[in-house]
Structure 1
Amino acid sequence: MPKKENFFNDFADKNGESDKPTKDVSRTDFPPNFVFGVATSAYQVEGASKEGGRGPSIWDAFSHTDGKILDKSNGDTAVDQYHRYKEDVELIAKLGFEAYRFSISWSRIFPDGLGTKVNEEGIAYYNNIINALLEKGIQPYVTLYHWDLPLHLHETMGGWLNKEIVKYFSIYAETCFKSFGDRVKNWMTINEPLHTAVNGYGLGRFAPGRNENSSTETYIAAHHQLLAHAAAFSIYQCKYKEKQGGQVGLVVDCEWAEANSDKIEDKIAAARRLDFQLGWYLNPIYFGEYPEVMREILGDRLPKFTEEEKKLLKNSLDFIGLNHYTSRFIAYVKESPEESDFYKAQQMERIVEWEGGELIGEKGASEWLYVVPWGIRKVLKYIAQKYNNPPVYVTENGMDDEDNDTLPLHEMLNDKLRVIYYKGYLAAVAQAINFIKIRGNR
């Protein structure tokens, strides 16, 4: 395990700056065109699950299945943004944010996902949100897919396991471009495809809850998501880019992987961990193929691209959306203690302690989340160096805190750890601006 003092001294020597900000971060630390915003996803906030012509999604089915959600909660009502979006827009404006990233529910546009008949009530709902945002001077940043696949597509064709999904996603994406693209100039095709693939089709922790064939289905689902992204990007470039003038990106996520020691096997394991996160999705776009290390380890379980698909994928994004929350030390192990095939294949152990037993950072409510501001700077620098400095938006970043029903409201609202988290991470992003085309932070 690294010694904390030595690590940060080395960090400062290499970067010419301390790991910690010497002053409070402020708006002036960022360029004038840097965008600050907030973000949600449809299933988490909309509610109205059976209103407005919306069809069921895989998350409706998953959250209503006994044993899947610990507290038995679901998104039937959520925070009721479907009815209260005007209040939310007003709150965003009062807080001074310039952007709102939200996702469109595929099954609110096409209830069965097939694209045969548009649900006009769904179109009207999103038109209302977009117009309300623009009236307040807030730019909409729209995600087309944030995990809520129409249930019909899963039940009738296997969802992301069937290559036909690319066609249906293309129809859905073009409908959104056509309906909203005169006002929406920033699009994200798919949010965190890794978690759909690994947790949805590998571990079974997320909808649709599959874990029967994790050694193959994980990589098939990821493959089809990549092709769906590329198809949607191509449609926008060919039919809407010139007239609408927008941009299209893909949102990936990365838990920074820091080698646990100077041993070559730990450094290789950390690099392999990054390839299995970022490289899985970005290498096909920038280099035409999955990372070599993935191909070596997974063999024929990793699907292959045709030459036509490689052409479709090549440079198929205008920006990268990065979701980043936390970091880990990575040590090489021959037999990984991790649960799923995806993690076992990486031959690594994720460690959350410095030498001496101190945690890598203060812990949030989620068992996986630790406050590690220096990690975001490292992942941004890694992206800049490996992928030729593409434009990047930090599309998700933040932390959760433990609920405590015994504390008075004013103490719960005085969430000091969250303030520390944002100050640290924003300071790290401000420092990263020196070497990467970072455009905004959510």
Structure 2
Amino acid sequence: MIANTFMYEPLKDIELDCKAAKRALAFYTAGMLDPLVFGDYPPEMRQYHGNELPRFTSEETKLLTQSLDFIGINHYTTLYAKDCIHSTCSSDGDRAIQGFVYLTGERHGVPIGERTGMRRFFIVPRGMEKIIEYVKERYNNMPMFVTENGYSPPEKEDEQEEDLVQDAKRIEFHKAYLAALARAIRNGADVRGYFIWSLMDNFEWVYGYNTRFGLYYVDRQTLRRTPKLSARWYANFLTNSGHNHVEDANPGSFKIKDAYFLD
């Protein structure tokens, strides 16, 4: 089972928003995973939806419980969460199906992280460590794979191929997110693998071909594929060659090369 996961942080350092962030995790992440691990929807969802949620029979619960071999985590970004139960919110958050939580990428007009080519995706590496820790604690450290993690740059007019293949920002993104993942692994998370989204530029749903996540540039006229700078960096990283290993930016730094986890 693969879950599309965001991490959530309180918009304000108050108890109501802290509870809202936890509620968002329960609705958006545990809402998918709890039935397949525990055989029922999260208590946080039952509290607000009650009998609106399906009730599993004892036989269904038996079939569902612990029916996963591993948990797949798609993770790109982190958002702020604001309580909408005891606070006034716009219509975007004032809905039971969303846990009465308003989600935003900005606080007082300041984005939570550097913007990317996706409207609600920001660069927030700490979110990777936090979401892995959340899944580890909630699901008794079931084996995990990071099945998607990647970066698309903001679109610019008149960009040429030579500009798109010099993607230093994508390298910075993956270095930072891999360092955060390594911290989670060193803290005991059973992460078995990590997959970059994506190998090459592709059709990104409603964003079409203009949003580019690939390590390889694709010429849409000829379909010729050209490795970007990030493809060469990642190849060196995986083979432990060169000097492109990730350094943790925090005190007590370490190198990811000392914590390889794809056994």
State the TM-score, normalized to the length of structure 2.
Answer: 0.67
**Structure-2 change in CA distance of 1:440 and 1:338 (3 Å):** farther
**Structure-2 change in CA distance of 1:341 and 1:347 (3 Å):** closer
**Counterparts of residues 271-286 of structure 1 (less than 5 Å):** 271-286=22-37
Bigger drift between 409-418 and 364-373 goes to 409-418
Q: Could you tell me which residue of structure 1 aligns to residue 238 of structure 2? A: none
Contact conserved, 1:297 with 1:345, CA < 8 A, in 2? no
Determine which of 189, 197, 205 is the counterpart of 1:436.
189
Q: What letter is aligned with 2:119?
A: E
**Counterparts of residues 17-56 of structure 1 (less than 5 Å):** none
> Following TM superposition, by how much is the alpha carbon of 1:424 offset from its aligned partner in structure 2, in angstroms?
0.8
* 2:169 aligned with 1:425: no
CA RMSD of aligned residues (A): 2.0
> Following TM superposition, by how much is the alpha carbon of 1:338 offset from its aligned partner in structure 2, in angstroms?
4.7
Runs of 4+ in 1 over 6 A off after TM superposition: 340-343
Within 2, Cα distance between the matches of 1:292 and 1:381? 20
Aligned residues: 192
Contact conserved, 2:115 with 2:154, CA < 8 A, in 1? no
> Following TM superposition, by how much is the alpha carbon of 1:252 offset from its aligned partner in structure 2, in angstroms?
0.7
Within 1, Cα distance between the matches of 2:98 and 2:104? 17
Q: Specify every segment of 5 or more residues in structure 1 that has no aligned partner in the other structure, as ranges.
A: 1-249
SS in structure 1 opposite 2:150? coil
Deviations 1:363-406 (A, max 9, x none): 11111110110001000011111111111000011122234351
Q: Could you tell me which residue of structure 2 aligns to residue 411 of structure 1? A: 163
Q: Could you tell me which residue of structure 1 aligns to residue 39 of structure 2? A: 288
> Following TM superposition, by how much is the alpha carbon of 1:357 offset from its aligned partner in structure 2, in angstroms?
4.0
Determine which of 114, 125, 136 is the counterpart of 1:373.
125
Contact conserved, 1:256 with 1:327, CA < 8 A, in 2? yes
Which is richer in strand?
A: 2
**Counterparts of residues 288-327 of structure 1 (less than 5 Å):** 288-327=39-78
Q: Could you tell me which residue of structure 2 aligns to residue 362 of structure 1? A: 114
Bigger drift between 386-395 and 402-411 goes to 402-411
Q: Could you tell me which residue of structure 1 aligns to residue 261 of structure 2? A: none
Contact conserved, 1:394 with 1:441, CA < 8 A, in 2? yes
Bigger drift between 256-265 and 381-390 goes to 256-265
**Structure-2 change in CA distance of 1:315 and 1:261 (3 Å):** same
SS in structure 2 opposite 1:285? helix
Within 2, Cα distance between the matches of 1:395 and 1:342? 30
> Following TM superposition, by how much is the alpha carbon of 1:329 offset from its aligned partner in structure 2, in angstroms?
1.5
Q: Could you tell me which residue of structure 1 aligns to residue 7 of structure 2? A: 256
Within 2, Cα distance between the matches of 1:342 and 1:336? 10
SS in structure 1 opposite 2:102? strand
Within 2, Cα distance between the matches of 1:346 and 1:262? 19
> Following TM superposition, by how much is the alpha carbon of 1:432 offset from its aligned partner in structure 2, in angstroms?
1.2
Identity of aligned residues (%): 35
> Following TM superposition, by how much is the alpha carbon of 1:344 offset from its aligned partner in structure 2, in angstroms?
5.6
Within 1, Cα distance between the matches of 2:193 and 2:77? 18
Within 2, Cα distance between the matches of 1:282 and 1:338? 27
Contact conserved, 1:337 with 1:344, CA < 8 A, in 2? no
Q: Could you tell me which residue of structure 1 aligns to residue 103 of structure 2? A: 350
Q: What letter is aligned with 1:293?
A: E
SS in structure 2 opposite 1:296? helix
